Amino acid sequence: MSKYIDTHCHLNLDTFTHRIDEVLDAAADVGVERVICIGIDIPTSERAIALAETYPQVYAAAGIHPNDCVQPGIPDNWEQIIGEMLNHPKVVAVGETGLDYYWDDAPPEQQQKFLQAHLDLAQSNDLSIVLHNRNSDADMVKLLTSHPHAKGVLHCWSAPWDIASPLLDKGYHISFTGSVTFKKNRLVQEVAQRIPLNRLMLETDSPFLTPAPFRGQKPNEPKYIPAIAQFIADLRGLGIENLARETTRTAEKLFRL
């Protein structure tokens, strides 16, 4: 059986409370043997670390999501708090951070300030960064290409090839969720087809975005990674074993697992 890593999931959200064992077992049954649990604010970053301490197959990322960077719960010294979390041996990345101009939860200038601060943290701790980008392509390219840090992943890819290209040139990786399997997503499928195989990773972003053919099932779970793998393998005319092996190797290298 092929071995996979779900490089981006949110088992730290309430949806999964009391179900972690069941969810991890179901994932392992289909070869998804390791997962990276991603923080979106301080409590969920702490929860990701607690899960990583409890389960050997769970790793964590700590950061503040662009939609959450103004909520009253973000203290002034958040950089120091997140910075301390990065010293934990199972924290393998900074994030998720990024830009989201789809929702207007936080003003763009505030999001950009937080993204710059996360990039600085990733740079000074020599860690990968996990980036969210929604309806903010131009500013994302501008910010990332002008910052010296160049190690990390654009998660839940949603943009066309001309946005992927400069980010790949800079050194970034791209990961795909179940959204790549949605029929109307031609531009994203084109990117999944064209990017170098050694820059491509798989993720569920669970509990969101269940892939076809399981689309009605909620919540999404790490156990659906093989459906995403199969879809991308077919797009690229590759065997699924080959895609599994390469994407797992890429994630191991990027996150030093």
Binding residues vs Zn ion (CB under 5 A): 205
Q: Is the peptide bond before 96 cis (omega within 30 degrees of 0)?
A: yes
Least separation, in Å, of the C-beta of 188 and Zn ion? 16
Give 137 or 205: the residue with its C-beta nearer to Zn ion.
205
Residue with the shortest CB distance to Zn ion: 205
Give 2 or 172: the residue with its C-beta nearer to Zn ion.
172
Least separation, in Å, of the C-beta of 151 and Zn ion? 19
Least separation, in Å, of the C-beta of 241 and Zn ion? 27
Least separation, in Å, of the C-beta of 133 and Zn ion? 11
* 229's tokens: 């793998």
CA distances from 144 to 20, 120, 147 (A): 35, 11, 5
Give 152 or 233: the residue with its C-beta nearer to Zn ion.
152
Contacts of 68 (CB under 8 A, 6+ apart): 40, 41, 74, 105, 106
Least separation, in Å, of the C-beta of 177 and Zn ion? 9
Least separation, in Å, of the C-beta of 96 and Zn ion? 5
Give 153 or 233: the residue with its C-beta nearer to Zn ion.
153
Give 9 or 233: the residue with its C-beta nearer to Zn ion.
9
Give 68 or 205: the residue with its C-beta nearer to Zn ion.
205
Give 205 or 221: the residue with its C-beta nearer to Zn ion.
205
Least separation, in Å, of the C-beta of 237 and Zn ion? 29
